[in-house]
Structure 1
């Protein structure tokens, strides 16, 4: 499910340092997600895997909202890119919904928490994985429209 998102760094890498760092964090999030989905059974090590996943999940969604999206929108405004601004306004509400789900998962299973019911946690994790997959696709679209469309202009500045 998330495999198709793993090549995003290949497609967007090198465009901008901030985006590169964020995409590297996405790769780690996907890796931690897979480890959590494939763990044989819960236990002390499994709890640390769950905590590690929640930590990077919150870091990733926070960076999107407080760093990346702001920069992308500012870039579109600077270049008077109405198409990009319109796309951002259409996409951000869905990304926000997914963010709230991610934060809810973290609130339930994050720091100092553990999965008392492994099956329920795995079900919620799988649902979250589907939402993250959608979010990654939306983010890639934003990067393409709001940043890559201007990269030649940015390098000339």
Structure 2
């Protein structure tokens, strides 16, 4: 999973500061996930590493929904990118479903009900989300970086 994060940063790093920061947050999230995954017993032994992971998870998810997706959609609108907007309309509902599951996990942890099985499910959800987000970045941002919205 970390390798795909590095590839995304290589492809889009430096394109836009907000996306760069978000991709760094993604890398931090993956690191926190891998750290807990290497020590699954820590899920029940100590709440601190799990709380730290959940904090990074919520920050990452929030940045996506309240900053990045809005910006990407706005950029596509500025370029009158109908294909990109249609793709976003297709992808966003799945991202919303994944978000609900990630936040439900966070809520379980807040209630002290976090279990290793639920944590393992997160890996697949995060991987799918990252792929969907990479697709959005590719279509809604990278495709426009050489264009001028005034001329489009």
TM-score of the superposed pair, with normalisation by structure 1 = 0.87
Shift of 1:10: 1.5
Cross-structure match for 1:139: 133
Q: Secondary structure of the residue that 2:146 maps to in structure 1?
A: helix
Task: Classify 1:100/1:69 alpha carbon distance in 2 versus 1 (closer, same or farther; 3 Å).
Answer: same
- Alignment gaps of 5+ in structure 1: none
Shift of 1:133: 0.2
Runs of 4 or more consecutive aligned structure 1 residues displaced over 4 Å after TM superposition: 154-157
- The number of aligned residues is 150
Task: Classify 1:35/1:155 alpha carbon distance in 2 versus 1 (closer, same or farther; 3 Å).
Answer: farther
Shift of 1:58: 0.4
- 2:79 and 2:149 in contact (8 A); partners too: no
- Alignment gaps of 5+ in structure 2: none
Q: Distance in 2 between matches of 1:141 and 1:43?
A: 32
CA RMSD of aligned residues (A): 2.2
Q: Secondary structure of the residue that 2:41 maps to in structure 1?
A: coil
Cross-structure match for 2:63: 63
Task: Classify 1:16/1:43 alpha carbon distance in 2 versus 1 (closer, same or farther; 3 Å).
Answer: closer
TM-score of the superposed pair, with normalisation by structure 2 = 0.90
Shift of 1:68: 0.2
